[in-house]
Amino acid sequence: MLRFKSLILLCAITQLALAQPVADLHIQGSNTIGANLGPALVTAMLIEQGFHDVHSIPVTPANEYSIVATKTLGQQIRVDVSAHGSGTGFTSLKAGQADLVASSRPIKDAELVDLEALGDLKSPAAEQVIAIDGLAIIVHPDNPLNQLNTEQLAKVFNGEITTWEALGGVGGPINLYARDDQSGTWDTFEELVLSRAHHPLSSRAHRFESSEKLSDAVSKDPHAIGFIGLPYILAAKPLAIVDGASQPMLPLNSLIASEDYPLSRRLFFYLPPTSQNPLAKALVTFTQSAEGQAIVAQNGFIAQTVQASRVEPGAHMPADYQALTQQAQRLSVNFRFEEGSATLDNKARQDLLRVINYLKIHDKLNKHVTLVGFGDVKDDPERAQLLSKLRAMTVRRELEKSGVVLREIRAYGAQMPVAANTEDEGRLKNRRVEVWVD
């Protein structure tokens, strides 16, 4: 009799589970995006689409969210956001358990091949840069240290450097705090810091799935150092970072927006070209709009909205570049290129539209724009100079299609690097075109 009652109960539970509605849109991936930004974008998009009574409902386990809304005729829809790490997004996409991937790192080559049945996820329509984030290196607020270079960082998190005195500071042993293996934040740190120096993470590091908990732990531990996404610095102290011959850079909005800051990174949505999900497409479109980028900024990330700002001249700048800083303002955009080519990358294609819109609004289409090209180190400095000019000319051709008449083009070759030239990632960052407007 007991077994019979148990069987009836099991059947009832199964029927109840099957009766639960399937999500109309399932976003899977990055905790950095999914914790707050993803749900905020979904909520704002649904309201713009005319849905009402948009609200979140309690969900378990942790780092999962459900947003429900009502259509005009009373039909409910549901959007699920699962934030367990960028890698889980691509795995779920292949398994048919996600419609859209939120990722705080670019898709890996192996993932690209694994998902080729869904179309080219590196195509401009599929790979959408939705925001810029910076990995902040954080310490206790009372730590007197102000800057580190990426080589020192690698040795600290590898466990080779174990005391603050070895870094010129005070405080004794160093306690390490790191994100978990599923996190895009961890992937980015591993790629930008540890992998470049061929260092594994020390086994002594305390690992966290939650960004907030990591930051809170560092701010309470005088011996601590950790890495975190920009919105999660909270009460901790960020350090200035040096990469190769670059200047020390704090994780400031202007330096992250231009991706000059050594530990800046892009946040992505990946929408399969084969997708037929209208909500997924609507979310991608909304996120790239001015309204969507305002949501990005409200959640502590760096929006891709173009802004102009003054740049302080420095002794590391060529004399005529210093003069440019006095005559013009720099836009918060660096045009960058596909690896091994002069083709603008996917973000640059979106940025072209934003820059053109900015120039139209501010009546700067005719002879107000100076493009400044840079490159990575070559055996022949004249070749680096030529390549930096050719990249600027590539941007000029695209701007001219929309009626922009430049004031001039400048090229500085391998001068003023923003990253080390020893790795592909650094060289790609140094191959850039700045936009200045007088």
Query: Is 89 domain-assigned?
Result: yes
- Residue span of the structural domain in which 239 resides: 133-257
Residues 286 and 176 both lie in one domain = no
Residues 74 and 102 both lie in one domain = yes
Query: Is 43 domain-assigned?
Result: yes
* pLDDT of amino acid 47: 96
* pLDDT of amino acid 366: 97
Query: Is 262 domain-assigned?
Result: no
Q: What stretches in the chain show pLDDT beneath 50?
A: 2, 4-20
pLDDT digits (tens, 9 = 90+) for 236-281: 999 999 998 899 999 988 899 999 999 998 999 999 999 999 999 9
Residues 294 and 400 both lie in one domain = no
* pLDDT of amino acid 340: 59
Residues 201 and 247 both lie in one domain = yes
Residues 250 and 369 both lie in one domain = no
Residues 10 and 109 both lie in one domain = yes
**Quick check: 99 and 275 in contact, CB under 8 A?**
yes
Query: Is 378 domain-assigned?
Result: yes
* pLDDT of amino acid 74: 86
CATH number for the domain harbouring residue 8: 3.40.190.10
pLDDT digits (tens, 9 = 90+) for 222-233: 999 999 988 899
Residues 322 and 359 both lie in one domain = yes
Query: Is 6 domain-assigned?
Result: yes
Residues 247 and 165 both lie in one domain = yes
Residues 367 and 349 both lie in one domain = yes
Residues 383 and 337 both lie in one domain = yes
pTM given for the model: 0.82
Residues 171 and 60 both lie in one domain = no
Query: Is 326 domain-assigned?
Result: yes
Residues 215 and 226 both lie in one domain = yes
Query: Is 216 domain-assigned?
Result: yes
* pLDDT of amino acid 279: 97
Query: Is 325 domain-assigned?
Result: yes
Domain boundary among 198, 224, 257: 257
CATH number for the domain harbouring residue 363: 3.30.1330.60
* pLDDT of amino acid 21: 55
- The number of distinct structural domains making up the chain is 3
